[in-house]
Amino acid sequence: MTIALSLPLGTERLQLRRFTPDDFDDLYAYQSLPDGARFLYRPPLTPEQCVSGLARRVAGSAWTEDGDDLVFAVCPSGGTKVVGEIVLKLASARSRQVEIGWMMHPEYGGRGYATEAARTVAGLAFAELGAHRLFARLDALNTASVRVCERLGMRREAHLVENDLDGERWGSEYVYAMLAREWKPQA
């Protein structure tokens, strides 16, 4: 299914929009931080990796095949500064399984931005993209993301013990999910 979304998406405090080539400095500011990458099982990104990642974000995908994704820049309302991102990944087009993820600049943590943006994009996944099941995979030590999942009303479906190697540390992972029929938009 090819999609046509009306962007930007707005909330009371945030604007969610497509990335532009002008967003490099903001993207690099959080993607290059050890604190930003510590739960992603990868090192911080180099400037070259951010250039190619930004090009992919700007180009977007058709949302037709497994692995296609939509990445939204998260900006406080009234500004253009990108403080993080929310991604929807089409894990299975056939069974309408969609993975959601987020990354925020640690400087903007604790303000509820990740929850607010994730709630908006979860609503989009169910209402406009036809997702049957929305899930998030996160490091079991990432308590901030655990709280985001729980605020969205997702349930913990799995605890994968030492399933990935993060440098020298074995990481465990939680899987949180909800079905379309369980989604309750914020009133």
Q: Tens digits of per-residue pLDDT, 1-46?
A: 446 677 889 998 999 999 999 999 999 999 999 987 888 878 999 9
pTM, to two decimals: 0.94
Task: Give the CATH number of the domain where residue 40 resides.
Answer: 3.40.630.30
Taking residues 168-174, what's their average pLDDT? 91
pLDDT at site 33: 94
pLDDT at site 1: 42
The number of domains in the chain is 1
pLDDT at site 41: 79
Residue 93 lies in a domain: yes
The sheet carrying 169-179 orders its strands as 9-10, 14-17, 69-76, 84-92, 97-104, 133-139, 169-179, 155-166
pLDDT at site 32: 96
Taking residues 65-85, what's their average pLDDT? 95
Parent domain of 70: 9-131
Residue 147 lies in a domain: no
Residue 36 lies in a domain: yes
Residue 149 lies in a domain: no
Residue 37 lies in a domain: yes
Residue 184 lies in a domain: no
> Closest Cα partner for 53 from 21, 94, 89?
21
Residue 175 lies in a domain: no
Q: Tens digits of per-residue pLDDT, 79-130?
A: 999 999 999 999 999 999 999 999 999 999 999 999 999 999 999 999 999 9
Residue 124 lies in a domain: yes
